Structure 1
């Protein structure tokens, strides 16, 4: 596509239209992507009406091209999914996700090809097996966008949502690699065993090299972030371009002809690494800004893909009415093969008990809710327009025929399957029942309402509201507070006191994570110490979420799920050990950080518990958890004091540097206060830092 003034206008009109569709989807409670495709389908005939064509005819100038989809849109979608994926949660279901994304996809592609190869001749369409296999690879990858949006609205178990999202993330690369291998065979010809073995080798090497390239480039970007993490603009820019840099570099390697790399897998691995390893060291403000920016970019790209897909379907020139029978047959075959592909993986996996079983209701939903979307559109458009094979006799080219089948399957999943997902979930009794989450929400909700009640009294005392309005608003808040307290009482009756011990312990972990991140940003702990403590907190959080908070090992800080940390440590291990002085400082950092974290956690819940006339937390839970953390604080303080007494001379320079950094943090807080109250602009801030901050403001 050559960008012209009309195509540029069409681009921004479509983005504006997608925002209108988004609001409409929320109002009418319809899946957003479904509504986008529907609007796209209607847009072409509407704008081509005689009295509208001269005004809105430019919409046709913006078209989906393979280059636009492949090099611009696809990396954004892959990166957003991988960057926000929790690797530890995904590894809890590693077997089912990996088997669904590889074995299930291959089974689906082959079974679709086999059935279509035998059925299509019965309705007068000779479909060579290689074309059927090509279609199997195109239509087998799943798209979770519409499904996950429905899951968020009605609530599902977190593991089920993770299986859907993890499968979709990983099967994109598998599907693309399989498609490219099959397309290569279709273009060069089939030579028996040699072709089969060569295809398997190429498929395997594309995946392996994709993983290697992804890790290598992610390591380069991660190293760059070590130098730029204090500058949010440079950091965000590096991470935003990383997806396209990895993807396009992989494609350049492919174009060299030396080796073939899966650019999708390379980008996926890089996104997982950057999101689960490098992201942890970013300052909270940068992380929050980056997360929103990536989410917004993915929203715009997804909106354009699905909206323009509707435009593409409506203006493709393929006679869908003439092809209605093969399309209907294909839709049924694809649905049946998905069912087979799911059960062929989950049944043996449940029998072997390698991880938590997949319930029968989940298996049914995995089979039904496997919608197709963006990747299938991208893949089918990669087929050359002049592509043909021996034995093809249809009046349509193989590309147009496969496009028609792909469009039919996508529309069927969006307009038939998607609207029925929620009713099927209700029938299967799939819902989120998380007592810990409910208990946590109850505690925090009560604190929120107590704060509201206190502020109301403050407003009344200051004369902001009159007595009549105060009484009405107070009655409403008290009613909500009574309901929240009653809900908490019911949770205690159903699940026992321990669920609120877990909830409060979880709150402490969240406070500790926030504190250790601040200590890293303020240079009060090294990255190595930070990663040890952060990993330890992640392990403890998982124990709490699994109702095993009494089994927490306070010394444990790593396990098999710390994939990227272990990989980095393995790579760096040959380059030498820390000096005795560095080890001593690290131990000091560790004890001091543990003491500060425990102290801040105790202060936080103590403030929440004692600020109001009614306690926020259940007294028994508060006493148990606060007492435990006070012991943590005392032990860490004692260890730190003993370490300083034994190594006063060696630690003296370090302690002096620590004092200077703490002073710099106090200065930064003073500048933040001036900013919040409008007393300072950026230029004056730099001037004050240069004049008064330690080391001229270079903290």
Structure 2
């Protein structure tokens, strides 16, 4: 007779055995995202009566499953894209989420017969999004990076805010309060204050913990130890924030992941450590997703869902409408009053791609018995999650095509392959130089590395140049991406000048506003690189710029004599700024 532990191990092995079969099948078919295929396999196992006695609980999802998924997602997010889109993502994850919750709450009073407070709680449970399946498909079809960042970034922030609101509303339900208690000015202020405190506190905890681990990693060069440190960070930040400081563990883990995945990757990891750390987290996320999606399928109460179909179908429509009510108006407002510029087809994807998975399941499983219709809520949440993951997830590829989202073709795939190889060659050259400086390889070996990789680098640069000449669209894409990074550096330099007192706040704001205008043009696919600064127009150009920023520039400033002296001193028709730029480019 098997002991309890042995049975748990057998069940766990059964889960991964099914997952292995699904993976082998997909290797041959390759048309369905892995996570959705696992969910369908779980449904099949449930219908077939396969017993897998692993209890899916609120704590297992939040404490075991969620931290690695959040950390891996944040660590692999491009911080520049995240920063560029932060305002619209934050708006959707706060104001948008609140608006959607209100829509679900109000309609639920008529549709489901719930009290307003219970309807709001239902909205808070079901509206957090899970982008795993969508992002896997985005990667498969080559969807634009900005769209991926918008979907994932909004989801990461959305999850943290939703958990905070859920805790506040659940406390009111357990206390026997009504929505009228929440609708007072004091109630709204208390809820908003709690959200700000929890989210802000979580961000501080995550950044502080992330910085501590970052400093430790910067002084280490042992990839196994650094992997362990990132595991400690992912779970430690969540636990310390959530259970000891009572702030958002979700936001803490996301903040820590963003710091380690960007600053840590660039400044604290050797090439070997980067490969080891990110491969480990990719594997961890894969294993955790395998576990959670298969179990979601197995534990979905299919018969009860069928019995509640009359309520479930309107509830599915309600959740989609509530999502749309938030996304379309708020993104349009953000487009009008900021440099967000989220295209309409991206807005469609944000609505249809707002899948609901592990967070809603975790929250509904955490409902106490004091919540009356707990069983019905479980059926509705599992049913809506199943619909969104299967129907919306499987239709996403066609949906992208229908709304006109451009996906990468063969030329772009080749270009990305060449760029990745070129980056790998640069890393190899840098690493061989570092090893040589530390006397870890002989000079003749170092010179051989430099010759071989140097030759490959030249060949790659030639091929990339030829490809860009043959494909103007790729050249424009590279130009836009490069400009975006340059503009971030420009904005950072202006901010530094303001902080050091070299520039007044008013002028700094004007300069930054111009940078934001350029960024808005980039978002519309327009390059900001022009040939305005020609030799003959140099004086007029800078006089216009100076006047625009409130400086009184007379005729004696930048006159022809001064320009001639400047030219004579430099010995060419370039400015000192051009010389400095030229020199910087020869490294």
Same fold judged by TM-score > 0.5?
Answer: yes
Q: Is the 8 A contact 1:543 1:549 kept in 2?
A: no
Larger radius of gyration: 1
Q: Does structure 1 residue 305 correspond to structure 2 residue 292?
A: yes
Which of 384, 387, 406 pairs up with 2:370? 387
Give the corresponding residue for 1:160: 147
Q: Pick from 340, 348, 355: which aligns with 2:333?
A: 348
Q: Is the 8 A contact 1:251 1:263 kept in 2?
A: yes
Give SS of 2:307's match: coil
1:425 corresponds in structure 2 to: 400
Please tell me whether the aligned partners of residues 8 and 62 of structure 1 are also in contact (alpha carbons under 8 angstroms). no
The equivalent residue for 2:256 is 270
C-alpha offsets along residues 357-397 of structure 1, whole Å, 9 cap, x if unaligned? 2222222222112111111111211212x123xxxxxxxx4
Q: Of the two structures, which has the highest relative contact order with CA contacts closer than 8 Å and spacing of 6 or more?
A: 2
Q: How far is 1:158 from its partner?
A: 1.6
Q: Normalising to structure 2: TM-score of the pair?
A: 0.71
Give me the whole-angstrom Cα distance separating, in 1, the residues matched to 2:410 and 2:7. Answer: 55
**8 Å contact kept, 2:305–2:380:** no
| Preserved CA contact (<8 Å) 2:217 2:226 | yes
Residue pair 1:185, 1:195 contacting (<8 A) in 2 also: no
C-alpha distance 521-223 of structure 1, shift in aligned 2 (>3 A): farther
The answer as to whether partners of 1:91 and 1:561 remain within 8 angstroms in 2 is no
Structure 2 residue 89 is matched with structure 1 residue 103: no
Quickly say closer, same or farther: Cα 1:268–1:521, change in 2 above 3 A. Answer: farther
- Which residue pairs with 1:138 in the alignment? 125
Contact 1:246–1:266 (CA<8 Å) still a contact in 2?
A: yes
Where do 5+ consecutive residues of structure 1 fail to align?
Answer: 49-56, 121-125, 255-259, 389-396, 445-502, 525-541, 571-627, 637-699
CA shift in 2, pair 1:561/1:131, >3 Å: farther
Q: Residue 207 of structure 1 aligns with which residue?
A: 199
Q: In the aligned structure 1, how far is the partner of 2:344 from the partner of 2:481?
A: 29
Q: Secondary structure at the match of 1:127?
A: coil
- Residue 81 of structure 1 aligns to a residue whose secondary structure is helix
1:582-601 equivalent positions in 2, closer than 5 A = none
1:547 equivalenced with 2:479 (yes/no): yes
- Equivalent residues in 2 for 1:278-677 (5 A)? 278-280=264-266, 281-314=268-301, 319-355=304-340, 357-384=341-368, 386-388=369-371, 397-432=372-407, 437=412, 440=415, 444=418, 512=426, 515-516=429-430, 547=479, 558-560=489-491
Contact 2:75/2:260 (<8 A) preserved: yes
Q: Distance in 2 between matches of 1:137 and 1:241?
A: 30
Decide whether aligned partners of structure 1 residues 332 and 23 sit closer, same or farther in structure 2, where only a CA change above 3 A counts: same
In 2, the alpha carbon distance for the partners of 1:206 and 1:40 equals: 36
Q: Tell me, yes or no, if structure 1 residue 76 matches structure 2 residue 68.
A: yes
Partner of 1:40: 42
Choose which of 172, 183, 204 in structure 1 pairs with 2:159: 172
Sort the Cα spacing of 1:358 and 1:12 in 2 relative to 1 into closer, same or farther, 3 A.
same
Question: Aligned-pair RMSD on alpha carbons?
Answer: 3.5
Assess if the C-alpha contact under 8 Å between 2:335 and 2:342 holds in 1: yes
1:349 deviates by: 1.8
**2:228 maps to 1:237:** yes
Which of residues 243, 255, 263 in structure 2 aligns to 1:252? Answer: 243
Structure 2 counterpart SS, 1:405: helix
Q: Distance in 1 between the 2:305 and 2:136 partners?
A: 29
Matched-pair contact (CA < 8 Å) for 1:222–1:274: yes
Q: Structure 1 pair 523/407, CA: closer, same or farther in 2 (3 Å)?
A: farther
CA contact 2:101–2:123 (8 Å) conserved in 1: yes
- Aligned equivalent of 1:6: 7
Q: Is the 8 A contact 1:369 1:417 kept in 2?
A: yes
Does the CA-based 8 Å contact 2:271-2:427 persist in structure 1? no
Deviates more, 1:428-437 or 1:152-161: 428-437
* 8 Å Cα contact 2:301-2:382 kept in structure 1: no
Looking at structure 2, the residues matched to 202 and 552 of structure 1 have their Cα atoms a distance apart, in angstroms, of 36
1:231-250 deviation line (CA, Å, top 9, x unaligned): 12111111122111111112
What is the CA-CA distance between 1:557 and the residue it aligns to? 9.3
Confirm or deny: 8 A CA contact 1:98 1:170 kept in the other structure. Answer: yes
> Post-superposition shift, 1:353?
4.6
Q: Distance in 1 between matches of 2:275 and 2:102?
A: 43
Q: Quote how far apart the aligned CAs of 1:635 are.
A: 6.2
Distance of 2:316 and 2:478 partners within structure 1: 41
How many residue pairs were aligned?
Answer: 463
* Distance in 2 separating the partners of 1:175 and 1:113: 14
Shift of 1:432: 2.5
What whole-Å deviation, never above 9, does each CA across 1:470-504 have from its counterpart, x for those lacking one?
A: xxxxxxxxxxxxxxxxxxxxxxxxxxxxxxxxx8x
Change (3 A) 1:548 1:366: closer
Tell me, in whole angstroms, the C-alpha distance in 2 between the residues paired with 1:550 and 1:252. Answer: 43
Q: Provide Cα deviations, 1:280-303, integer angstroms capped at 9, x if missing partner.
A: 221111111111111111111111
Contact persistence 1:331–1:409 (CA under 8 A)? yes
Q: Distance in 2 between matches of 1:261 and 1:151?
A: 32
Cα separation, partners in 2 of 1:286 and 1:193, compared to 1, 3 Å: same
The equivalent residue for 1:21 is 22
